[in-house]
Amino acid sequence: MTLAETVRAAFTAEFGTEPEGCWCAPGRVNLIGEHVDYAGGLCLPMALPQVTTVAMRRRSDHLLRVRSAGFDPVDLDLRDRHVDGWAAYVAGVIWTLDPPGFTGADIAVASDVPVGAGLSSSAALGTSIAVALADLCGLPLDEDGRDRLATACVRAENDYAGARTGGLDQRIALHARPGHALLLDFADGSSEHIPFDAEAQGLTVLVVDTGTGHRLADGQYGQRRGEVEDATRLLGVGTLRNAASADPLDDRVLRRRARHVIDEIARVREAAELLRAGRIRDLGPLLDASHRSLRDDFEVSCPELDTAVGAAVAAGALGARMVGGGFGGSAIALCENGHVDPVRQAVADAAARRDFAAPTFLRATASGGAR
Ligand code: ADP
């Protein structure tokens, strides 16, 4: 059964009627450009083939009933403007978008995006709801319309789910094109689709989910953002995008944090140039350098991620790095197709030797956006 069939069946079983339609939005990996979105930087994400799918039928009585396998069912009155838990990603988008004539809905959710793995299942959920609402309520789904949906989803996450998100996840989920990565510029909001067809070059982007849920909630994310803000102020630049060097900073920690951001932005520029020239293989050293920088200068890696990245490279990956906010979650390894199996084996063996959770693997094919 496809995911769309699964979610339709779940909807009908739960609510006893047919949905008006099904909509989906993808998870993502960021090829490079980590912890730079809130510093006016550049990121280069791509959408995964894994998606979150929602089936929806509107109601006229202001009730919202949402169901997702493995999560508590939630029923609420939309006029109360109060929600707890996972349904915040659904109700928050409804309240923020406030689509004309929308007065409640039954919604079933099914997803093959791993949850809490740093692959952005939360943004996949929020943006799939946003396209569903746009489609049902006649909001435009062209590029400008999608920009507005992305902005609303970011606000919904900030205001209702209490997640501080910079917008990378929502923008890639809404704008992704198959066979392309998306260069996002957080200084001016612009973007560029860059061809990224690894398969055509005999390459695989292997995603390693370490099974260690990323633990951004423990305050580290906020602390790093604070350090970046301090470094920006001390350097006297509007954002670190405008800083040439971290050397003038006296504080050793702030200097390292700023150095990561400045160097990472330069790496994204270089990566984008390589992709424009079709030189995907040459991304390898940039991925390695990004990981070292996140581990040593920005200090957001963890033993599980370092072990996965180290084992992947030792087994022949062209390059590997942690992705997402850090402190757990996933890593990517760029591999020749012939090296995928040995890399998987080496990563699994290395985790077992250290008594870490068994990692799981996905192949990241650059896929389309919310639809
Ligand atoms: P991720 O990196 O996967 O986005 P987060 O911790 O940011 O990790 O978001 C995960 C949260 O998003 C879940 O705890 C849940 O609240 C919500 N979520 C994501 N996917 C689903 C889903 N399919 N069904 C219900 N809630 C989901």
Section 171-199 average pLDDT: 97
Q: Is the CB of residue 281 less than 8 Å from the CB of residue 275?
A: no
Ligand 1 contact, 86 CB (< 6 A): yes
Ligand 1 contact, 88 CB (< 6 A): no
Greater pLDDT, 79 or 167: 79
* Residue 214 pLDDT exceeds 80: no
pTM of the full structure: 0.95
Which of 3, 115, 212 is the best mutation target for the ligand 1 pocket, counting ligand atoms within 8 Å of the beta carbon and taking the most?
115
Cα separation, 113 vs 90, in Å, equals 16
Q: Which atom of ligand 1 is nearest to the CA of 52?
A: 23
The answer to which of 128-132, 134-138, 166-170, 203-207 has the lowest mean pLDDT is 166-170
3-state secondary structure of 203: strand
> What band does 343 get if pLDDT is binned at 50, 70 and 90?
very high
pLDDT at 219: 80
Name the percent of the chain lying above pLDDT 90: 94
DSSP 238: S
Ligand 1 contact, 165 CB (< 6 A): no
Catalytic residue among 169, 263, 288, 297: 169
pLDDT at 216: 53
Ligand 1 contact, 98 CB (< 6 A): no
Taking Cα atoms as reference points, which of 107, 94, 104, 201 lies closest to residue 153? 94
Ligand 1 contact, 125 CB (< 6 A): yes
Ligand 1 contact, 68 CB (< 6 A): yes
* Residue 368 pLDDT exceeds 60: yes
Q: What is the mean pLDDT of the chain?
A: 96
Cα separation, 272 vs 139, in Å, equals 33
The percent of the chain in helix, strand and coil, each rounded to the nearest 5, is 45, 20, 35
Taking Cα atoms as reference points, which of 32, 26, 28, 34 lies closest to residue 46? 28
* Residue 89 pLDDT exceeds 60: yes
Tell me: the pLDDT tens digits for 280-325? 999 999 999 999 999 999 999 999 999 999 999 999 999 999 999 8
Ligand 1 centroid from CA 332, angstroms:
20
Indicate whether this complex's ipTM tops 0.95.
Answer: yes
Q: Which atom of ligand 1 is nearest to the CA of 118?
A: 2
pLDDT at 222: 85
* Residue 276 pLDDT exceeds 60: yes
Ligand 1 centroid from CA 13, angstroms:
23
SS3 of 58-109: the string is: ECCCCEEEEEECCCCCEEEEHHHCCCCHHHHHHHHHHHHHCCCCCCCEEEEE
Cα separation, 315 vs 310, in Å, equals 9
Ligand 1 centroid from CA 160, angstroms:
14
Ligand 1 centroid from CA 266, angstroms:
31
**Does the annotation mark 247 as catalytic?**
no
State both tokens at 185. 């510029």
Tell me: the pLDDT tens digits for 215-267? 554 688 889 999 999 999 999 999 999 999 999 999 999 999 999 999 999 99
Which of 54, 113, 122 is the best mutation target for the ligand 1 pocket, counting ligand atoms within 8 Å of the beta carbon and taking the most?
122
Ligand 1 centroid from CA 150, angstroms:
17
